[in-house]
A and B are shown apart, each in its own frame.
Chain A
Amino acid sequence: MLLIDCPYCGERPELEFVYGGQAHVARPAQPAQVSAQQWADYLYRRDNTRGVHAERWRHTHGCGRFFNALRDTTTDHFRATYKVGEPPPSAAAPVPR
């Protein structure tokens, strides 16, 4: 079970959270204006990252807030967690101690 650092509450066990898939996939502002392919990409196409992956989590059994995280999919180590709307911290940043 992962230990996840909620930006609002601090470190909590994974069972308080729900995974939310890849982060920074914005819903088109005007869906009617996008092509079928663009819409399909938004709905279904996701990265399958080996390495640092930006992803959404929700602290469902805690503060209820969505936030984003950088997690290394090869080690399960979190590089950072950050609030919705904030840009992802540099993935090259040193591992927090």
Chain B
Amino acid sequence: MNEGLRTREGGRIDRSRGLHFSFDGRAYTGVAGDTLASALLANGVHLMGRSFKYHRPRGVLACGAEEPNALVAVRRDAARYTPNLRATQVELYEGLAAHSQNRWPSLAFDLGAVNDLLAPFIPAGFYYKTFMWPRRAWQWLYEPRIRAAAGLGRAPTEADPDRYASRYAHCDVLIVGAGPAGLAAAAAAAASGARVMLCDEQNEFGGSLLADDPRAAAAIEGRPAPQWLRETSAALGSNARVTLLPRTTAFGYFPHNLLGLNERLSDHLADPHPDLPRERQWQVRAREVVLATGAIERPLVFPGNDRPGIMLAGAARTWLNRYGVLPGTRAVVVTAHDEAYPAALELQAAGVFIASIADVRARDDGSWAARARAAGIPVLTRATVLGTGGRRRVNSILLAQLEGGEAGAQAQPCDLVLMCGGFTPSVHLFSQSRGKLCWDEGLQAFLPGTPAERVRSAGACRGVFALDAALADGAAAGAAAAREATAPARTGVCPSGAAAAAAAPPAAGGGAGFAGALPQPAGARGRAFVDWQNDVTTGDLALATREGFRSIEHIKRYTTTGMATDQGKTSNLNALGIVSCTLGKPIPEVGLTSFRMPYTPVSFGSFAGPARGELFDPVRTTPMHEWARARGAVFEDVGLWKRARYFPRGAEHMHAAVGRECLAVRNACGIFDASTLGKIEVVGKDAVTFMNRLYVNAWTGLAVGRCRYGLLLRDDGFVYDDGVVARVSENRFHVTTTTGGAPRVLAMMEDYLQTEWSDLKVWLTSTTEQWAVVAVQGPKARAVLAGLVDIDLAAAALPHMSVALGRISGVPMRLFRVSFTGELGFEVNVPADFGPAVWEALWDAGQAHDITPYGTETMHVLRAEKGYIIVGQDTDGTVTPDDAGLGWAIGKNKPDFVGKRSLERPAMTSPQRRQLVGLLTTDPQVVLEDGAQVMAQAGARAPARALGHVTSSYHSSVLGRSIALGLVAGGRARIGETLYVSVPAGDIPVQVASPVFYDPQGRRLHA
């Protein structure tokens, strides 16, 4: 540590606890209570980063969340590497390892700095003007180069091993910001018994009080400010109805008073407990919100204003009073606001030589300038800055009087320049809440106007800067918020008109400051930076206005001003001031860009919370899942379900396993877990009427004990879902849906029932998870079931498409005789808990009949061999029943059903619509690709229109060849024609065929 730069006493640090840390591999020492930035400054290190575009050397500008320059990466290990942290917010711990960014090979010598020399050739918008030609160069030159140069910081290379927590909370009053106004608001709200939450992004509460010299601090409520801060915090902390959240950033303000808070729990610890989450994201629904988010000091815009060692005056005060660090030895102060004077005087008292104060205002109000002069500091008025010198640290500044121009300019050596352009109220969250901002001419600031939520602003964030006024403002806001939050008559979350009115802020004490670029005499040189992080200069903004941009939203996007990770916290108002001046329009007419969440960057881990890995999505398993897993089934995801796809034997791959399973079902018998099928019980005296109105089929004539293939359309006439429907009793239907369609079918049923046909006596119940369903399919299926059930399985007693209630191995059962394979088949429905036992019983009984378990892949092949569609695979939301070959299902005599009117539109009956057909490749071993385009001619090239596309395609082992289904324009009239399936390797000739490839007469089904 450079001993000369750390004060001997004072500040909120513990000099007795030294901490070792490294920056770019070099070892340094700081003390407990330091941030990385304060510790580096104490070691005389000002160069902390390189700028994004020009790679200019940059030092720390500010001391908080608004810092645009000192972005660093902190590395704990390969997986714990966090880029783009503001060094001003990184709390120091023993062993901290930080790295600078955006430089190569080193921070001091950065080859990218050649961009700085090229600056005249890469002005704002150069991206849009360059790289236009030759077009092919994009691929091999422009894009790779731009990508290599783009981005700030590097991403970690390993998965994040840390844990992130998530919490919901409700409170009466949420207060954002624990400076004087926020603390006063919290104390007032808590005094009324309200449930209060108070959050602040810093590690300790106090806000602006933390930057004050404790020896010179004002008294609050009759106590010295530090004592008031300590006692107020302690009182709040011991109140059970108050939740205090330090290190917690309110990053987003969402509708109806929902705020997102990000609490950092372990980043400041050298050796965090392994059970401690790294961050916790709070979603707080507050009845009332008080924003006490303070104000951000504005830099001044003058040539060469970006060199290391040039910083905000308030930041310098913070380094001195909070961290005991002298940020330089010989300083020049440039200011447009009174607030720089106490900084100068306090630094002088601490031993920093203040060479001069250059006040850009026409006249000083007397008292501050007089005090400075009395302390021996020369004060210049109507001053401006013509330029600065120094490469990695400022070493001189050229001051001039506005009238004098260059002639009277005086260069002053210095290693520190303090600037203060005034204060910009932090209205970010208020603006996010969609509250209106109003321009205050006296303060030269946007202030909160009419709120859109139940929110109040207090203190500096609404232009109330003076300490006693801010305290009173906070206390009033806190008390009013608590009163409204706990009012007995209160309902709802929307604000009333009355809440909007708040007293206008008093005139600012230290003046309004300055927004824009400092006026320059003719011939001034050097770039004046407006947006430090994105390297936007006054020249860039001037160029944008010369090129015709007028709206600040356009200028922002063209120049990228305010678009860096700091979202222009220090730059937006200066950019507005410059554009306003150039266009000759007042600032409110130029407009204000939108404030967006997050206020400061939030880690992905915080948003993901616990929802990662196994908890990313819920997993649904069937009652028989364990059996399949134990048998080595390969599973596939179908929605949230895990379904057995095939059951490989030994080293068998999928193709072989599926071929074997298919033949087993066709020749003997297979067993299949169909439990994921959606199931809805439709019950009530109007159940048949409801089904008639909803599904295309005629249900009145369906006898109890029989099933029917049900087809459901949307009212636009297109296929929505399908499934077998059984009439279990007169007023009870057992409706099945596709696996993925169950929730949306139930939602559609509820919609019509509740909102269109609420007179019908019908009740709907999802029973998907109440039934375990075991499909036994194949010529020997009847023999497998025969010994287990108390039902006559003869074809005459239980024909295809029927249902019987009975028992299997003593378990109550709904037995469906249905088939999705084209074979004799049964689906055994038993209460879910009995699923595994019934499955085992069927498995045991099946051993004598060569029973084989099969999965979804085999199920798909078997159904395709029969031409049975899968909704969503063979249909796509533009397919009518007739297109899918299902016109026969429609109840012809029904006056209405959902979708009927749409089917009567001429376009819906055109013979040229795409119809479902079979496609047989000339070469029987070629398996087409799903989704491939079907063309009329070989060799067709874009923009030739396709006749249709392949929807399903498999190898059929029972047929010994490939089969495919497709939707083809006028397809049924083309049966026998040769068409071409276009693939990158060429055209595959296919013959259009019937979509039923196997047993077209259905003899096996009715066995």
| Chain A interface residues toward B at CB < 8 A | 1-3, 5, 11, 13, 18, 20, 26-28, 30-32, 34, 36, 39, 43, 56, 58, 60, 64-66, 75-78, 84-85, 95-97
Contact = CB atoms under 8 A, between A and B. Distances in A.
Contacts of A11: 493
A32 B489 contact: no
Nearest to A84: B755
B183 to A, nearest CB: 28
Interface stretch (B252-260, B418-426, B473-481): B252-260
Nearest to A56: B755
A32 B452 CA distance: 47
B255 A96 contact: no
A85 B757 CA distance: 11
A66 B755 contact: yes
A64 B902 contact: no
Contact of A27 (B283, B715, B904): B715
Given A43-B716, A43-B902, A85 B758 contact: yes
Interface string B149-190: 000000000000000000000000000000000000000000
Interface residues of B, number: 33
B747 A97 contact: no
B748 to A, nearest CB: 11
A60 B258 CA distance: 21
B631 interface: no
Given A3-B256, A18-B747, A85-B758, A39 B902 contact: yes
A11 B750 CA distance: 22
B167 to A, nearest CB: 14
B285 A60 contact: no
Contacts of B904: 32
A31 to B, nearest CB: 4
B136 interface: no
A31 B751 contact: no
Contacts of A75: 434, 452, 494
A58 B716 CA distance: 22
Given A2-B255, A2-B256, A32 B901 contact: yes
Contact of B896 (A32, A58, A78, A97): A32
B715 A76 contact: no
Contacts of B254: 1
Interface string B703-733: 0000000000001100000000000000000
B901 A66 contact: no
Given A1-B258, A58-B750, A97 B496 contact: yes
B943 interface: no
A39 B693 CA distance: 17
20 contacts: A1-B254, A1-B258, A2-B255, A3-B256, A3-B258, A20-B751, A26-B756, A30-B896, A34-B901, A58-B751, A66-B755, A76-B255, A76-B256, A78-B492, A78-B494, A84-B754, A95-B494, A95-B497, A96-B494, A97-B489
B941 interface: no
Contacts of A34: 901
A96 B490 CA distance: 9
A28 B257 CA distance: 40
A36 B494 contact: no
Contacts of A26: 756
Interface string B279-317: 000010100000000000000000000000000000000
Nearest to A23: B755
B494 A77 contact: yes
B491 interface: yes
Contacts of B496: 95, 97
A44 B755 CA distance: 18
B895 interface: yes
A66 B285 contact: no
A72 B798 CA distance: 59
A5 B255 contact: no
A76 B493 CA distance: 11
Given A27-B756, A96-B494, 5 more contacts: A2-B255, A13-B285, A43-B902, A78-B494, A84-B754
A28 B715 CA distance: 11
> Which among A34, A36, A65 has the highest number of chain B CB atoms within 10 Å?
A36
A69 to B, nearest CB: 12
B666 interface: no
Nearest to A40: B905
A60 B747 contact: yes
B715 A43 contact: yes
B900 interface: yes
A13 to B, nearest CB: 8
Interface string B459-499: 00000000000000000000000000000011111101100
Contacts of A32: 895-896, 900-901, 904
Contacts of A77: 452, 494
B450 to A, nearest CB: 11
A6 B904 CA distance: 39
A-B interface, 8 closest residue pairs, ranked by CB to CB distance from nearest: A31-B901, A77-B494, A3-B256, A76-B255, A66-B754, A96-B492, A3-B493, A27-B756
B928 to A, nearest CB: 35
